[in-house]
Chains A and B, each alone.
Chain A
């Protein structure tokens, strides 16, 4: 199975600040169809996960441009700028390239 390693495990960010989360995969996530199926989710307390970024760098409908994704191959980053109170929760990366699809173990974001 593809292992998705997220760092850091947790982070604390000031309101209005900027931060980034790293996700590394144990295999390249480039699919044979040329796409890279790397997604980012935020799970707010008591809620279902919500999709932020799909295929590395595409923001899902309604996601503010404070969230951006980048990376390629096995190394990916989620950047959050101008952090707001509603950004707190656990962030997960996910790969949908290799079966079984797998999630990272999560990064908990707290607001200072």
Chain B
């Protein structure tokens, strides 16, 4: 059974770094891509970036300078790091296996 679960701090201060973890089960990271998608409260969906089965990454160009996605295949985990957070980064962050199966999402609020 494919499962993904996001975890991380619910509150981050402006200008600080966000670190999120996506823990997966039921599939291999070396055979599937994992994407991050975010959704500001009451708004639509925005593709953040992806790590592909071979380990290469692609990022939304609007976020690229602040974003890093990596993984630990031995732990079945994918990591998102985003620095210089601003209030507009407040959103639910989802991880998804190849845009098919999705986690429940984690709400991140950027506020002092």
Chain A interface residues (CB < 8 Å from chain B):
1, 39, 41, 43, 48-51, 54, 60, 92, 94, 96, 99-106
- Verify if B45 is at the interface (C-beta below 8 Å from A): yes
Chain B interface residues (CB < 8 Å from chain A):
35, 37, 44-47, 58-62, 94, 99-105
Contact across chains for B103 and A103 when beta carbons are under 8 A apart: no
- Which residue of B58, B59, B102, B103 is within 8 Å of A50 (Cβ)? B102
- Which residue of B47, B100, B105 is within 8 Å of A103 (Cβ)? B47
Contact across chains for B100 and A99 when beta carbons are under 8 A apart: no
State the CA gap A43–B43 with chains docked (Å).
12
**Chain B residues, Cβ within 8 Å of A49:** 37, 45, 94, 102
Query: Could you list 19 examples of A-B contacts with CB < 8 Å?
Result: A48-B94, A48-B102, A48-B103, A49-B37, A51-B100, A51-B102, A54-B99, A54-B100, A60-B100, A92-B44, A92-B45, A94-B47, A99-B61, A100-B59, A100-B62, A101-B60, A103-B47, A105-B44, A106-B45
**Chain A residues, Cβ within 8 Å of B45:** 41, 43, 49, 92, 94, 103, 106
State the CA gap A94–B99 with chains docked (Å).
10
**Chain A residues, Cβ within 8 Å of B46:** 103
State the CA gap A39–B105 with chains docked (Å).
20
Contact across chains for B47 and A101 when beta carbons are under 8 A apart: yes
Known: A39-B99, A48-B103, A50-B102. A100 touches B44 (CB 8 A): no
